[in-house]
Amino acid sequence: MKVLGVTVDYPRALLASLAVVLFVAVVVAASTSSAAFGVYNTAWDGAGQLQDVAEEGGANATVVLNTSAYGSAEPNQTVAVVLSPNEAYGRDAEALRQFVRNGGTLVVAEDFGPNGNALLESVGATARFDGRIVRDEKNYERAPALPVADNVTDANTTGNLTDDVESVALNYGTVVQPNDATVLVGTSEFAYLDANRNEQIDDGEPLRSYPVATVESVGAGRVVAVSDPSLFINAMLDREDNRQFTANLLDRETVLLDYSHADGQPPLTVAVLQVRGSPALQGGVVALAIGLVFGGSRLFGRGESDSRRYTPDGDRVADYLARERGWDAERVKRLTTGVWGRNPQEDDNE
């Protein structure tokens, strides 16, 4: 059987087909995630649309897996988003602290985990997440645990963070203790904190408006605290004015989606991000690709004997990469010799 002029026998064709199917399946599995609030999770509980909202507003949105990315950001034009981190930032929080103090905007969204408050403290913010679930028996979507917060501070006093926002919807969230921060959005007057989670209003659980989003100045920058990371997930973005509120928060030239301390990142995506940040790894990937492309003929064959099969000219490849990419020509030549095993001139001399 001939495919594009190449002679391929049926067993090898079947093997190649199975390899392609397996490859596609592995790529899909390795490039997606099922982690809650994950930017690579397109299910209802993922934040796969978050990057789209940022880019629709004209921002350059980047997923970062290492806090070293803050060192190369322009703080005055950058907003960073942290959604319910699984791990404590510890010493890594210093990079975020300097980022904020130099003019950056940091959005921290947390409900019941301990790491959100630890991060707020580390960067110098005074707001804290309460940790008790907020319910509203009057203003809600489908259930009191999904309250609609409609006490919105005028946009003129919030730096336009609440522009065109009349209400936001929560999904089993908590509230913010503002301390010195300014309240952006609060619940209705009929909300209460269900401390014992019995889904009833008890003594010591007063009805009143509770803050669910705040902003405060820290150094030359500012910190936004949002008491429910679910506000940003795919299933909640189009409820009430969640999408508009999110777009307002991400209204900067650069958006850093910080997943440096979050679990469940897809391995293929992690590998791609690491390669992008490492010139050495980029060179290794290109070399591997060269070997796969030109070495593939050995798998399928061309119907000729080994002595007449085409072998690329390693010297020409090395000269091209040196000229176009600035690579070390001698190193490339050694690499191609190892991949292809011989120099094409050897065939000409036989």
pLDDT in tens, 212-258: 999 999 999 999 999 999 999 999 999 999 999 999 999 999 999 99
Note the pLDDT of residue 1: 54
Evaluate if residue 3 carries a pLDDT over 90: no
Note the pLDDT of residue 319: 72
- pLDDT confidence tier of residue 29, bands split at 50, 70 and 90: very low
In angstroms, the CA 344 to CA 27 distance is 35
Instruction: List, in order of start, the domains of the chain with CATH numbers.
Output: 2-26+271-345 (no CATH), 50-263 (3.40.50)
Note the pLDDT of residue 169: 98
Evaluate if residue 306 carries a pLDDT over 90: no
Share of the chain above pLDDT 70, in %: 66
Contact 64, 269 (CB under 8 A): no
- pLDDT confidence tier of residue 36, bands split at 50, 70 and 90: confident
Contact 165, 114 (CB under 8 A): no
Read off the pLDDT of each residue in 15-31 and give the average, rounded to a whole number: 47
Note the pLDDT of residue 14: 53
Residue that is written with structure tokens 């940091």 in the block:
106
Note the pLDDT of residue 265: 56
Read off the pLDDT of each residue in 296-303 and give the average, rounded to a whole number: 50
Q: Which residue has the higher pLDDT, 50 or 338?
A: 50
Share of the chain above pLDDT 90, in %: 63
In angstroms, the CA 170 to CA 141 distance is 9
In angstroms, the CA 120 to CA 80 distance is 13
Residue that is written with structure tokens 């006093």 in the block:
157
**DSSP single-letter state for residue 172:** S
Note the pLDDT of residue 83: 97
Note the pLDDT of residue 35: 81
Which secondary-structure segment (H or E) carries 334?
helix 329-340
In angstroms, the CA 105 to CA 98 distance is 11
Mean pLDDT over the full length of the chain = 82
In angstroms, the CA 151 to CA 76 distance is 29
State the burial class of residue 231 (Cβ atoms within 10 Å of its Cβ: 0-12, 13-18, 19+).
buried
Read off the pLDDT of each residue in 281-293 and give the average, rounded to a whole number: 53
- pLDDT confidence tier of residue 131, bands split at 50, 70 and 90: very high
Report DSSP letters for 127-164, one per residue: -EE--SEEEESSSEESEEEEEEE-EE--GGGTTTTTTT
In angstroms, the CA 296 to CA 10 distance is 16
Contact 79, 51 (CB under 8 A): no
- pLDDT confidence tier of residue 303, bands split at 50, 70 and 90: very low
pLDDT in tens, 85-123: 999 999 999 999 999 999 999 999 999 999 999 999 999
Q: Is beta strand 254-258 parallel, antiparallel or unpaired with respect to 78-83?
A: parallel
Q: Which of 28-42, 55-69, 179-193, 293-307 has the lowest mean pLDDT?
A: 293-307
In angstroms, the CA 291 to CA 289 distance is 5
Give the highest mean pLDDT range of 124-133, 265-274, 306-315, 340-349.
124-133
Beta strands in the chain (DSSP E): 2-3, 6-7, 60-64, 78-83, 105-109, 128-129, 133-136, 140-141, 143-149, 151-152, 168-169, 176-177, 182-186, 191-194, 211-218, 221-226, 254-258
Contact 241, 164 (CB under 8 A): yes
Q: Is beta strand 143-149 parallel, antiparallel or unpaired with respect to 140-141?
A: antiparallel
In terms of Cα–Cα distance, which of 272, 286, 275 is closest to 332? 286
Q: What are phi and psi of 6, to 5 degrees?
A: -105, 130
Residue length of the chain: 350
pLDDT in tens, 320-337: 666 766 666 676 666 666
Encoded tokens for 28 = 């899909």
Evaluate if residue 271 carries a pLDDT over 90: no
Report DSSP letters for 250-287, one per residue: T-SSEEEEE-TT-S---HHHHHHHHHHT-HHHHHHHHH
177's CB contacts (< 8 A; 6+ apart) are: 127, 128, 129, 130, 211
